[in-house]
Amino acid sequence: MQKGVSVDERDYFKDRLTAQEIGNLAKDVGMSEIFAWRSPSFKKLGLIASEVTDEQMATLILEEPRLLKRPIVRIGEQLIIGGSLKAIEEAI
């Protein structure tokens, strides 16, 4: 616990997200916002970003957790995806 805030940490590589969890995140902020477009893992796929559908993004995240933008922080109803430590501290 830091700053009086309880933290639940999850290693997405050991405990992968389910399709439903990915869908819930996407529902909150949009699939494109949780997808790590700049990841070397995405670049290796050789796909054209503008042609990748939401369904394909979800499948790719399920197969390769590195394609999930991190960190993901939920503070109450607020969801911060890929935010800097400063942005997270300000939200707390």
Task: Tell me the per-residue pLDDT of 9-50, one tens digit each, with 9 for 90 and over.
Answer: 889 999 999 999 999 999 999 999 999 999 999 999 999 999
CATH number of domain containing 82: 3.40.30.10
Structural domain tally of the chain? Answer: 1
Which structural domain, as residue segments, surrounds residue 75? Answer: 19-91
Residue 79 lies in a domain: yes
What is the pLDDT of the chain when averaged over all its residues? 90
Residue 26 lies in a domain: yes
Helices (H), 38-84: 40-45, 54-63
If phi > 0 it is left, if psi is from -120 to 50 it is alpha, else beta; for residue 66 that is alpha
Looking at residue 76, its pLDDT comes to 80
Residue 1 or 80, more confident: 80
Q: Phi and psi at residue 2, in whole multiples of 5°?
A: -130, 140
